[in-house]
Structure 1
Amino acid sequence: MALTPAPSDPRDRLALTFAPLDLADCYSQAEDPANGAVVVMSGTVRNQTDGKPVVALDYQAYEPMALEVFRAIAAQIRQQWTQVNRVVIHHRTGRLAIGEISVLVAVGCPHRGEAFAACQYAIDTLKHNAPIWKKELWQDGSSEWVSIGACEV
């Protein structure tokens, strides 16, 4: 998979890619012998928004700034949860079909509580701060661009 790495810490894997995301690969990048937990959040394209049928999503991002936001998220995680061993944040761009993975966030840590909290912080902050937009393509042929930050948390 062709990913654009942008690590803030050499143990982190942060990327935007046009290629499909691989759940097993993301998990393996979060593994570390010191981990007692790896928590993974997988965001997928669903078939409706507020009851309106969706057929696909188009994602666009301002890559340099998005990767900087990913770096900042990883750095903030390491400040708040100092035992975190690995942070993985991968986001897709381009057209995605129903069921495809749009974002993967994984956090590896000695303890599950910190791993869950850090993973939730990462996805919530990404959705709020990253310059990533999605165009919802609806079954009736209409479409609309929205910032992922405007989406439900």
Structure 2
Amino acid sequence: MSHTHHDHDHGHDHGRPVGPGPVRLLAVRDDALSVDEVLAAVGDDAAGGTALFVGTVRDHDGGAPVTALSYSAHPSAESELRRVAEKVAADFPVRAMAAVHRVGDLRVGDVAVVVAVSCPHRAEAFEACRRLIDDLKREVPIWKHQTFADGTEEWVGACSH
């Protein structure tokens, strides 16, 4: 893996290790996510605590039954994910961090997003993990398209508040 100034990595690493530094794994993928892969990516001997968040597709939203769901990502999604991750890593004593988000068609119960953070102590690991998933949902351009049991549809933007 070369690290010259002429590398043109546009974020299509699909889970290749990101390189030195605390951000170990970032990906936006159209295939199934692995909690084990994310957990392994943040293993660090100097970390005393690892916080892991798994987001799954639920069978309802706002009280209405959801029958189908798909995620779409803007081409800038992986670079925005990297920006968000690096900001969290700079604000907390992060030893290792990973974040993967799935796109495409998902079923109820499928894993949509997995993030994990390892820190020296558990309190900061929990706090950094929460910031990571919250900022990801708020700032990374990934949109959710839901179909409800009554046939209605809804787009939900990652940037909506």
TM-score by length of 2: 0.85
Query: More helix by proportion, 1 or 2?
Result: 1
Aligned partner of residue 19 in structure 1, secondary structure: coil
CA distance in 1 between counterparts of 2:74 and 2:53 reads 22
Gaps of 5+ in 2: 1-12
Question: What is the root-mean-square deviation of aligned Cα atoms in Å?
Answer: 1.8
Asked if 1:80 is matched to 2:102, the reply is: no
The SS at the match of 2:159 is: helix
Structure 1 residues without counterparts, runs of 5 or longer: none
Q: After the TM superposition, which segments of 4 or more aligned residues of structure 1 sit over 4 Å from their partners?
A: 8-11
* Secondary structure in structure 1 of the residue aligned to 2:44: coil
| Separation in 1, partners of 2:148, 2:20 | 40
| Contact 2:72 2:143 survives alignment (8 Å) | yes
Which residue, out of 120, 128, 131, partners 2:130?
120
Q: How many residues align?
A: 148
Cα distance 1:76–1:142, how it changes in 2: closer, same or farther (>3 A)?
same
Q: Higher mean Cα deviation, 25-34 or 86-95? A: 25-34
AA of the residue aligned to 2:56 = T
Provide closer, same or farther for how the CA distance between residues 137 and 6 of structure 1 changes in structure 2, counting only shifts above 3 A: farther
Partner of 1:136: 146
Residue type at the aligned position of 1:137: T
The TM-score normalised by the length of structure 1 is: 0.89
Corresponding residue for residue 7 of structure 2 = none
Counting only pairs closer than 5 Å after superposition, residues 1-150 of structure 1 correspond to structure 2 as: 3-5=14-16, 7=18, 9-11=20-22, 12-63=24-75, 65-81=76-92, 83-150=93-160
Larger Rg: 2
Q: Identity across aligned pairs (percent)?
A: 35
